[in-house]
Structure 1
Amino acid sequence: MSQSTTNKVDQRLHDAIASSVRPPNPNALSSSLTFSSRALLRIKHVPEQLFDVTMFPIIFLLMFTYLFGGAIAGSTTEYLQFLLPGILVMTVSQITMYTGVDLNNDIRKGVFDRFRTLPIWLPSALVGALLVDAVRYLMASTIMVLLGLLLGFRPEGGFIGVLSALGLILIFCFSLSWIWTTLGIIMRSEKSLMMVSMMVLFPLTFVSNVFVDPETLPNLLQGFVDINPISLLVTAVRGCMYGTVTTAEVGWVLLASAIFLVIFAPLTMYLYRNKK
């Protein structure tokens, strides 16, 4: 580098430091995308984080199809047609907890306090992480659908039906993630957060219409399954994939998603601002 070029760089650096004009604050979109990039970099350097959206879906689908398909439906192929939409919802729903886990880790490491001192749109740290999690949900869903097609799954709703089903799953799981961000701020450790999330998710996913027709369950359990948000989502996803979905089925999923978002998003932001 020549002397004149060096002098110009030094002069620009001096002008930037000496200037009394502050650079404009980033807008909400810019800061959210910056935090999304941070989450993507973390995945790049620790690719094992993708194990839950790559290997788990494959293991779950193969295990439940070939271990229980013959016993429940008499045919693994027939059971796959019933099971795949449900196991897809179950798998993606269970990985929503990692949004809260990552936030809890940031709080314990002190990164959380640094973010709150930055001149940015405050929710951007959370929104950026949730956007990357939506990409993770889409990856898990895509892997499940492709594997299902290889195993013999044939969605009668066609490509549009599958896309509609994936869209409902992404909306629902994005809203569900706000529950775990709330708990991620409240809980004192990552282990306690995962324990609580499993205590919530396991009953919701296993006492539902994921694996069996609710008509085969006792009356008391049928009542729970009918109002279970996971069951509502599974019903709508099955309807989309088989071309039989109704407006009411989609409406119930959107209503449940809106309830999660309206309650837990403001609660998360309140706790985020007032965390000590």
Structure 2
Amino acid sequence: MTVQSPDTAAPSLPPSSSPAPATLAAASVVIAGRVLRQFVRNRMMIIVTIAFPLLQLFMLLAAFNVLVRDTQGVDYVRRLAPLIVLTTAFSSILTTAIALWSDIRSGVFNRLRAMPLDMRAYVAGRIGGDFVRIMGVAVLVTLVAHTVGFRFSRGPLAALGFFGIVALFGMMCSALSVAVALVAQHPGIIVRYVQMPTLVLTLMSSGYVPLEAFPGWIRPAVSVNPVSLAADALTGLSDRGALAAPVLGTVAWTVGVTVVCTAVATRRFALLVKSG
């Protein structure tokens, strides 16, 4: 009778074998749940991504709604609300990138790496959790804006398209936050290279005022600004305005940036796991 050694009794999978898709998906869901729990427990993230955009919505409406209605004959909330929905996604880049940067350089990442876990699940779960949070906040802000006059007047399909554009924009922001966190050497770089560009893109967009309100020399830059295109697309899908150009422009920007950021993040993450 031949006695089988422990090594041959339970052969392990070779390092090159990939985990089952179901296992990878389940692990990603667990990581995404952790991301969402962190958000709910973090008062600063809630203030930055929900409270501040809503405060901005009410303050700007109080200051400019009557003026815009008298001069342009439209409700300012119809133009402003879509931009506020976008800013909830934009404002999440900074907080998400810093949280991910802290994870990578803390014991959390090392513990996950020591577990029998495909580390791709960590990235997928992080992006998935952020995406769910972005969409949840967008729906909440849209509902609040509805109480002050925002309406979907172009039918249910246009309303679905509205949130489809928000989803594309949110996916771009999630991919961008992961790439920035993996590239940055310290949080100060994240603040410097995320906060100022996002602020400039938001202020120099046609979300607050129509393109015609800008000086002629800067209109070409404002018209191709991804925030302008996305805000115009959301305005057109919810109320009135052009659709084809802003929707196609938004798709081009969001897909392009997401692909580039995903490529950068994949490369940097692979080097990080290998170096550990």
Q: How does 1:1-276 map to 2 (within 5 A)?
A: 20=10, 25=19, 27=21, 28-46=24-42, 49-74=45-70, 78-242=75-239, 244=241, 246-275=243-272, 276=275
Shift of 1:174: 0.9
C-alpha separation in 2, matches of 1:50 and 1:228: 27
Shift of 1:196: 1.9
Q: Secondary structure at the match of 1:96?
A: helix
C-alpha separation in 2, matches of 1:84 and 1:164: 16
Residue correspondences, number: 259
8 Å contact 2:236–2:242 — kept in the other structure? yes
Which amino acid in the other structure matches residue 29 of structure 1? A
Shift of 1:220: 2.3
The gaps in structure 1 that reach 5 residues or longer are: 1-18
1:212-262 Cα deviation digits (max 9, x unpaired): 011111122211111111111111111111265534432221111111122
C-alpha separation in 2, matches of 1:223 and 1:245: 17
Percent identity at matched positions?
21
C-alpha separation in 2, matches of 1:92 and 1:42: 17
C-alpha separation in 2, matches of 1:145 and 1:120: 38
TM-score by length of 2: 0.82
TM-score by length of 1: 0.82
8 Å contact 1:103–1:184 — kept in the other structure? yes
C-alpha separation in 2, matches of 1:214 and 1:164: 23
1:101-127 Cα deviation digits (max 9, x unpaired): 221011221433443454444332122
Taking structure 1 as reference, are residues 81 and 42 closer, same or farther at Cα in structure 2, changes over 3 Å only?
closer
Taking structure 1 as reference, are residues 206 and 157 closer, same or farther at Cα in structure 2, changes over 3 Å only?
same
